[in-house]
Structure 1
Amino acid sequence: MNTVFIVHGYRAAPQNHWFPWLAQKIQSVGAACEIVHLEDSSAPQYEVWKECLHMQISPLDENSIVVAHSLGCLSSLDFLSEALKGKKLKAIFLIAPFKESLPALPELNGFIQQAKIDEHVIRTAIQKRFIFLSNNDPYVTAPESIRLGFAIHAQMVEIKSAGHFMQDDGFVEFSELWEKLNHLLV
Structure 2
Amino acid sequence: MKTVFVIHGYQASPEKHWFPWLSQKIEAAGAACEIIHLEDPDVPNYAVWKECLHMQIAPLDENSIVVAHSLGCISTLDFLSQALKGKKIKAIFLISPFKDALPSLPELNGFIQHTKIDEFVIQTAIQKRFVFISNNDPYVAPPMSIRLGQAIHAQLVEVKYAGHFMQEDGFTEFPQLWNKLELLLDQPVISSVE
Please state which band the TM-score falls in when normalised by the shorter chain.
over 0.9
Structure 2 residue aligned with 1:164: 164
Q: How many residues align?
A: 186
What's the CA shift string for 1:72-99, capped at 9, x where partnerless? 0000000000000000010000000000
What residue in structure 1 maps to residue 38 of structure 2? Answer: 38
Query: Which residue of structure 1 lines up, in the alignment, with residue 74 of structure 2?
Result: 74
Structure 1 equivalent of residue 116 of structure 2: 116
Q: For residues 119 and 174 of structure 1, what CA distance do their matches in structure 2 show?
A: 27
Q: Structure 1 stretches of 5 or more lacking a match?
A: none
Deviation track 1:50-81 (CA, whole Å, cap 9, x = no partner) reads: 00000000000000000000000000000000
In 1, Cα distance between the equivalents of 2:183 and 2:54? Answer: 27
Question: TM-score, length-normalised on structure 1?
Answer: 1.00
Q: Which residue identity is paired with 2:69?
A: H
Partner of 2:150: 150
Cα distance, 1:4 vs. partner? Answer: 0.2
Counterpart residue type for residue 25 of structure 2: K
* Runs of 4 or more consecutive aligned structure 1 residues displaced over 4 Å after TM superposition: none
Which residue matches 2:3? 3
- Deviation string for 1:124-172 (max 9, x for gaps)? 0000000000000000000000000000000000000000000000000
Percent of paired sites with the same residue: 75
- 1:11-69 Cα distance to aligned partner (Å, 9 max, x none): 00000000000000000010000000000000000000000000000000000000000
Aligned ranges for residues 21-100 of structure 1 at < 5 Å? 21-100=21-100
Report the Cα distance in structure 2 between the residues aligned to 1:76 and 1:90, rounded to whole angstroms: 15
Q: Name the Cα RMSD after superposition.
A: 0.3
